[in-house]
C-alpha cells in the first residue's frame, strides 16, 4: 500500500469509529430528538436537492471572504511596519495587544448597533477575528528574519521597496501564512456565531433556524457537518500554500 493510501486509511479509522459510536448511542438511547448518521445524511441530501445548502454555503463564504481579505489588506502592512520599525511597534503594539484578547463574539452587540442586521455586521466581526492573528504573525516573521539575508541583500545594493519585496516579505512569508491560516480558522468560527444572530442566511442561520422550526436536529447536525467539511477544505488550501517553494525557501529541506 502506498504512503498516500495508508494515510487516508489511517485518517478514516477515527471517522468510522465516531460514526459507529454515534449510531449505536442514538439507537440505544431511543432518542426522539437526536438523529442517526444516516438520517443526517438524508437531511443533508434534501438540503442540497432543494438548493438551500449551496445558498447558505455561498452566503457564509461571501462574508468570510470580504472580512478576511479586508483584514489581510490592513494586517499585513501593519504587521510589517511593526516588525521593521521599532517606533511603529511601540506605537501600535499596546493597541493590538489590548484588543486582541477580546473575543470577537463580545463585539456582536456593538456590531449590530453600528452596522445593523445584515452582511456588514458579520463581515466586521470576521475582520476583527482575522486581523489580530495576521498582524501578530506578520510582525513576528519580519522581526525574526536572519540578519545575514539583510546583509547579503544590502551588499548587492538592495534598499527600500526592492529590499522589502525581494527579501523581507519572502523571508517572513511562512509566518504570514501561519497567521493567515489561524485567522481563517477563527473567521470561520465567528461567521457561524454571527449568522445565528445578525442575518437570515448562511450556515449559522441554517442551524438556528432548523432548531427553531420544529426541532429539525437532523438539519442542525447537517449544518454542523457542512461547516466542518468546508472548514477542512479551506484549511487544506492554506496548507498547500505553506508547502510552496516560495514560502519554504529560507528553510533547509
pLDDT tier at 69, thresholds 50, 70, 90: very high
Grid cell listed for 235: 484549511
* Longest Cα separation, the chain: 75
Closest to 135 (Cα-Cα) out of 180, 170, 166: 180
Q: Give the per-residue pLDDT at 47.
A: 87
Backbone angles phi, psi at 223, to 5 degrees: -65, -40
- Alpha carbon distance 104, 96 (integer Å): 14
Q: What span, in angstroms and rounded, lies between the C-alpha atoms of 187 and 193?
A: 10
The C-alpha atoms of residue 164 and residue 159 are separated, in whole angstroms, by 8
The per-residue DSSP string of 78-126 comes to HHHHHHH-HHHHHHHHHHHHHHTTS-GGGGHHHHHHHH-SSTHHHHHHH
Tell me the per-residue pLDDT of 118-145, one tens digit each, with 9 for 90 and over.
Answer: 889 999 999 999 999 999 999 988 888 8
| 67-81, 121-135, 158-172: the lowest-pLDDT one | 158-172
Q: Average pLDDT, stretch 28-33?
A: 78
Mean residue pLDDT of the chain comes to 84
Q: Within 10 Å of residue 32's Cβ, how many Cβ atoms?
A: 8
Say yes or no to pLDDT of 19 above 70.
yes
- pLDDT on residue 253: 43
pLDDT at 134: 93
Mean pLDDT confidence for 16-26: 85
The conformational region for residue 85 under phi > 0 = left, psi -120 to 50 = alpha, else beta, is beta
* Distance of alpha carbon 143 from the chain centroid: 24
- At 135 the pLDDT is 94
- Domains of the chain: residue spans and CATH: 59-244 (1.10.3720.10)
Across 17-29, average pLDDT? 85
pLDDT at 249: 57
Closest to 47 (Cα-Cα) out of 207, 242, 234? 207
Amino acid at each position: 500500500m502506498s504512503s498516500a493510501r495508508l494515510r487516508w486509511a489511517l485518517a478514516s479509522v477515527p471517522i468510522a469509529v465516531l460514526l459507529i459510536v454515534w449510531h449505536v448511542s442514538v439507537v440505544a438511547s431511543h432518542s426522539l430528538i437526536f438523529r442517526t448518521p444516516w438520517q443526517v445524511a438524508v437531511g443533508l441530501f434534501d438540503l442540497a436537492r432543494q438548493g438551500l445548502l449551496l445558498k447558505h454555503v455561498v452566503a457564509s463564504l461571501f462574508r468570510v471572504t470580504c472580512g478576511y481579505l479586508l483584514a489581510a489588506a490592513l494586517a499585513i502592512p501593519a504587521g510589517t511596519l511593526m516588525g521593521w520599525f521599532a517606533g511603529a511597534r511601540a506605537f501600535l503594539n499596546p493597541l493590538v495587544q489590548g484588543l486582541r484578547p477580546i473575543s470577537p463574539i463580545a463585539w456582536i452587540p456593538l456590531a449590530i448597533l453600528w452596522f445593523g442586521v445584515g452582511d456588514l455586521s458579520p463581515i466586521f466581526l470576521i475582520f476583527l477575528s482575522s486581523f489580530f492573528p495576521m498582524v501578530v504573525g506578520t510582525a513576528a516573521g519580519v522581526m525574526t528574519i536572519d540578519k545575514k539575508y539583510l546583509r547579503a541583500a544590502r551588499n548587492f545594493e538592495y534598499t527600500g521597496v526592492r529590499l522589502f519585496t525581494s527579501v523581507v516579505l519572502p523571508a517572513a512569508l511562512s509566518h504570514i501564512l501561519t497567521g493567515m491560516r489561524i485567522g481563517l480558522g477563527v473567521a470561520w468560527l465567528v461567521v457561524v456565531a454571527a449568522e445565528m444572530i445578525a442575518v437570515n442566511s448562511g450556515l449559522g442561520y441554517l442551524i438556528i433556524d432548523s432548531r427553531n422550526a420544529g426541532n429539525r436536529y437532523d438539519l442542525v447536525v447537517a449544518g454542523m457537518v457542512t461547516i466542518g467539511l468546508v472548514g477542512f477544505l479551506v484549511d487544506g488550501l492554506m496548507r498547500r500554500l505553506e508547502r510552496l517553494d516560495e514560502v519554504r525557501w529560507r528553510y533547509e529541506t
